Structure 1
Amino acid sequence: MQTTKQKKVASVIRETLSEIFQRQNLSMVNGGMVTISEVAVSPDLLIAKVYLSLFQVKQPKEFMKELEKHSPELRHQLGNKIRNQVRRIPELHFYLDETMDQVFRLEEIFKQIKKSD
């Protein structure tokens, strides 16, 4: 269960990272789209788990590795924008959010079931 402070910090990080992604053209990669689906902050506010939803991105695992490599740079840019709102800038960890992929798979299964009826 996240505290109110965690939720506020997560919201600020999500909004600011979205802006950074748009400015650096990270929201459109390899003909696909990248969105930040969720940000979860640890209770001590020192670690932020950033869940990304990738839509039609070719080689998503390579993209995630590249993003992890640039995590310190993104953290620095984030810090420049939110340093007046947060005491310490959390370390960023990026994760692939596969929720939408699962939804699409389930929809396909339901379509097949409906056709067979």
Structure 2
Amino acid sequence: MESTRQQKINRLIQKELGDIFLLQTKQMTGVLVSVSSVRISPDLGVAKAYLSIFPSEKGAELLKNINANVKAIRYDIGQRLGKQLRIIPEFTFFLDDSLDYLDNIDRLLNKDNKTEDKNG
């Protein structure tokens, strides 16, 4: 169970990471990176950020680039939140594929409905 402080920091970091990725992806046309959630450890030293990347075909490549530049991202967060947080957490980024999963379920359900319409 997360404390209220952890939840507030999660939202704060999620907003700031979203702003950072928005500025970075403006230079790349047709790419959108959004931060779907952030989970910070109880000691506030480690944060896991889950990213939703569109188009999903570029997800693995972009995630690799983001993880390669994690120190620069941590520095940017430190510049933005240094007055509010005593410790700037270490970041680990993961690909959030829940939208692809939902897409797949919708596609399968629609396929079943079309099969029933033809048979029924």
Letter in 2 for 1:52: L
Indicate the residue corresponding to 1:83 in structure 2.
Answer: 82
Kindly report which structure 2 residues correspond to 1:14-93, keeping only aligned pairs within 5 A, or say none.
14-25=14-25, 29=28, 31-93=30-92
TM-score, normalising length: structure 2: 0.90
Residue deviations 1:11-63 (CA, integer Å, cap 9, x gap): 1101111111122226x756232110000001110011000011214432121
RMSD of Structure 2 on Structure 1 (CA)? 1.5
Task: Name the structure where helix makes up a greater proportion of residues.
Answer: 2
**CA-to-aligned-CA distance 1:49-95 (integer Å, 9 cap, x gap):** 00001121443212111100100000001000001111100001000
Q: TM-score, normalised by structure 1?
A: 0.92
CA contact (8 A) 2:22 2:33 kept: no
Q: Paired residues, what number?
A: 116
Identity fraction in percent: 32
Structure 1 residue 104: deviation in Å? 0.2
CA contact (8 A) 1:39 1:50 kept: yes
Which structure 1 residue ranges, 5 or more long, are not aligned? none
Larger Rg belongs to:
2
Where 2:94 maps in the other structure, the secondary structure is: strand
Distance 1:38 1:29, change over 3 A: farther
Partner of 1:116: 115
SS in 1 for 2:93: strand
Q: Which runs of 5+ in 2 are unaligned?
A: none
Give the distance between the partners of 2:40 and 2:28, measured in 1 at CA.
26
| Cα distance in 2 for residues equivalent to 1:20 and 1:10 | 15
**Distance change (3 Å), C-alpha of 1:29 and 1:57:** farther
